[in-house]
Structure 1
Amino acid sequence: MQGPPVIFSPRRRLNARARMAAMRRTGNAVSTVARELAADAVDRLGFLNRTFDRALVIGDVTGTFADHLLAAGGEVVRADPSPELGLAVAEDAPIEGGPFNLIVSLGLLDTVNDLPGALALMRRALAPDALMIASFLAAGCLPTLRKAMLSADADRPAPRVHPQVDVRAAGQLMTRVGYASPVVDGWSFDVKFDDLDQLVGDLRAQAMGNVLADPGPPLGKAALSRARNAFADEADEDGLVRERFEVVTLSGWSPAPRF
């Protein structure tokens, strides 16, 4: 049986997260996206009249969401694809240590090669009538960076920015892999940057750089100059460039037992 296409490099992905972990240890942490995803997940739990006494939290690099659960008295297992950031969990392998009555994945599923498989593995690690929440970057993300990269490559565009899942396709996946009462919604937030180099540096510091299996050739000096100029052309009256981060959040329940 043929597996899913290899779009992302697992090795490059792990290296990116290891680099992020190293930067966090030296105090050079940028957590803009991680903070937004964690805060949104906390808000979502606030609407539920439910307690979760055993949770698996994957990719919460700020610890915000895990700390919220701990404050409520629950047991929390912190995990990440990189063992430097928590219990090592691979999205293409069964999750051990379950069952859990809550699994939350933050900022990870946009760079897995088998998204349906990753969602199915999380569902199998849930106890009956348990909740899964996954938030990750979605289609339409980073439009200004995409435009700058197209300007850089001119007539021969190279693969530099990740392909991403749109909200409608994500919703179909939830039903396909067996979640009950699935909910899928898209949301966004904006961040302003001084220039292209600051944006790229922040993305790399958050393990959000290029982890494609075919990352394309490096930008030459002339191409990099075109990209910087195209990005700067989008500046507002304050000289800052607003970039958009689109997010899709999936939530669903493992089927409850039938009596």
Structure 2
Amino acid sequence: MDIVFDQPLVEARRLRALKAGDEKAQFLLDIVAEDLAERLAVVERRFETAVELHGYTGVTARALMATGKIGTLTRIETDNAFGGTEGVTVAPLETVPVAPASANLVVSPLSLHLTNDTPGVFIQVRRALAPDGLFLAAIPGNGTLQELREVLLAAESEITGGASPRVIPFADVRDIGALLQRAGFALPVTDTETYTVRYASLFALMKDLRAMGMTNTLIARSRKPLSRAVFLRAAELYAERFADPDGRIRATFSVIYLSGWAPHESQQKPLAPGSAKMRLADALKVEGTSGSGAKGNDGSP
């Protein structure tokens, strides 16, 4: 297993961002919480025992409970501070401390992209689910912060003659689908939503990223801070390449939504390869669902 992320640093930066308390910067988590709750609300069954994996602020857990589809819900976080007055079960980001076959629902909002052993976490979730239990997750995917990645690399190369990775890598939707199958989930489904957020400048975007706990936590990151000259040049390039007519820049956040069921004899058996494509509604056991698309949002001024 390759060690990509500095896990102690991941946990420290998420905790620091939580304590900073910039609620406005949590817009992406708020969007994901609402979307996951909507997806759960249309599933035609009730989940007596649910788990939220590293939901950060608990907004997803509250949105899920509001659907009326859940009996009890346990939150798992890396620190008690994430629980507030509600309380949480404390565990590292890559550990699922749930007894085998004991949960009917496991939900993970915007945390699995920071795990080194993502296949292992998927397997742990699969083991924690009772037969016919559901796994729902949202994972930032390929394309996220692509503009920032491009301009930082270009500016650093131009000024210093070399470049270090400054934006973490994000998974492709096909890879996530393959992980679901590899972990033994039945009826795996993935889809992607793209959210475009506009900012006054690169510096406003980076302020939000710090407030989200989404700054660089790569093991291979350069320990040498970027100079002011590099940031100023990157801001110029961003405005040249990714600005709207009103001067505000665009930042892309691509979120992969996934679902998979713990196998059960009552489930629909897969069709022969190439014979048909399963509808998301069928996999989630609902009557119908709306399609996905791009969504916009205004970021910090």
1:147/1:230 contact within 8 Å kept: no
Q: Under a length normalisation based on structure 1, what TM-score does the superposition of the two structures give?
A: 0.91
Residue 62 of structure 1 and its aligned partner are, at CA, apart by: 4.5
Q: Report SS of the residue matched to 1:123.
A: helix
Pick from 89, 92, 96: which aligns with 2:91? 89
The alignment yields a C-alpha RMSD, in angstroms, of 1.8
* Matched-pair identity in %: 34
Distance in 2 between the 1:137 and 1:69 partners? 20
Q: Spell out, residue by residue over 1:107-163, the C-alpha distance to the aligned partner (whole angstroms, 9 max, x if none).
A: 001111111001111111111110001111111111210121112212412111111
Q: Report SS of the residue matched to 2:147.
A: helix
Residue 58 of structure 1 and its aligned partner are, at CA, apart by: 2.2
Return the letter of the residue paired with 1:8: F
Return the letter of the residue paired with 1:227: A
Return the letter of the residue paired with 2:3: V
Report how many residues are paired. 253
Q: Report SS of the residue matched to 2:25.
A: coil
Distance in 1 between the 2:65 and 2:258 partners? 23
1:55/1:102 contact within 8 Å kept: yes
Residue 257 of structure 1 and its aligned partner are, at CA, apart by: 5.7
Return the letter of the residue paired with 1:18: L
Q: Report SS of the residue matched to 1:53.
A: strand
1:17/1:82 contact within 8 Å kept: no
Where does structure 1 lack aligned partners over 5 or more consecutive residues? none
Pairing of 1:54-65 with structure 2 (within 5 A): 54-65=49-60
1:159/1:215 contact within 8 Å kept: yes
Distance in 2 between the 1:50 and 1:110 partners? 29
- Counterpart position of 2:256: 248
- Counterpart position of 1:44: 39
Distance in 1 between the 2:195 and 2:25 partners? 16
Pick from 193, 216, 221: which aligns with 2:228? 221
Of 128-137 and 224-233, the range deviating more from structure 2: 224-233
Where does structure 2 lack aligned partners over 5 or more consecutive residues? 84-88, 267-301
- Counterpart position of 2:148: 145
Pick from 18, 21, 46: which aligns with 1:21? 18
Pick from 164, 167, 174: which aligns with 2:170? 164
- Counterpart position of 1:125: 128
